[in-house]
A = this chain, B = another copy of it.
C-alpha cells in the first residue's frame, strides 16, 4: 500500500504499542527512535502482557487513561487490555485519522521463529495489519529490564523510515528481531523466513504452602531447521532478522490433499 501521508505532504502519524507495558524501557527507546520520523502517539498496556498471543478482551470492559509517561508533548494512553485491544482502541478512540505506521516493541526478549505465535508484541502488529495499517514488531534478544536498546533503536528507525518510504506489501507485516550486540558487531539485516522450530515443555512442578501442586511453564527452544534463509540462522550469525508475516493462515498446499479425503 502506498504512503498516503507522504502523498498528501502530511507528517506521518505513528502509533506505538508494546506488550511489556507502557513503562518498559523498550517502548521508551522505540518512541525516541520514531520522533524524527513523524507525529507519535502511544497506546500501550498498563501492565506486562508477555505471552498473551492474539488475545482480545471480550468478557470484561476496557479502561483507557491518558498519561504523561513520555512528557507533555507526546500523547500517551494506557489500556487495561491486551496489545491487540490497544491497537483497536487506539485506532477507534484515540487517533483522529488512520495511522501511517504501527510500531510495536521494542520487546524485551526474542520473538523469532515460532515465538511469533505466542507474542503479544507481534499481535499488536498483526492487528494493525488486519486493519490495513503498515506495521512492524521489534524484539531484542535480551529479556533483561535494563537491556541496551541502542542498536535495536537504530535498526527500528531505519526500517520504519523505509516502510514510510516504500509502503508495505498488502496483508503483510514485519517481524524484526535484533541480536543482543553492540551496533558495530551487527553485520546488517537479512530478509528471512520463519525457522521451523518449537518449544519442548519442561513444567516445573512445585507444592504450595497448602500442599497443593502447581506448575510453572518452562521449556527448551528446539530449532529443527538447518536452512540458511531462516530468522534463527540470521540471528545466530549476528544479523538482524526481518520476516514478512501474513494473517491468511490457510495452508494452501494442503487443499488438494484434503480434497482426496472421503468427507
* Residues of chain A at interface, number, CB under 8 A: 80
Say how far A255's CB is from chain B's closest CB, in angstroms: 5
Q: Tell me whether B251 and A244 are in contact (CB under 8 A).
A: yes
Q: Tell me whether A51 and B61 are in contact (CB under 8 A).
A: no
> A114 interface residue, CB < 8 Å from B?
yes
The interface residues of chain B lying within 8 Å CB-to-CB of A253 are 169
> A203 interface residue, CB < 8 Å from B?
yes
A192 to B59, CA, bound (A): 30
The interface residues of chain B lying within 8 Å CB-to-CB of A131 are 198
Listed stretches A22-30, A37-45, A68-76, A209-217; interface member: A209-217
> A57 interface residue, CB < 8 Å from B?
yes
> A191 interface residue, CB < 8 Å from B?
yes
| Interface of A toward B, CB cutoff 8 Å | 48, 50-59, 61-64, 81-82, 84-85, 88-89, 91-93, 114, 116-118, 123, 126, 130-131, 158-159, 162, 166, 169, 171-172, 174-175, 188-189, 191-194, 196, 198, 201-203, 205-206, 212-217, 242-255, 257-259, 261-263
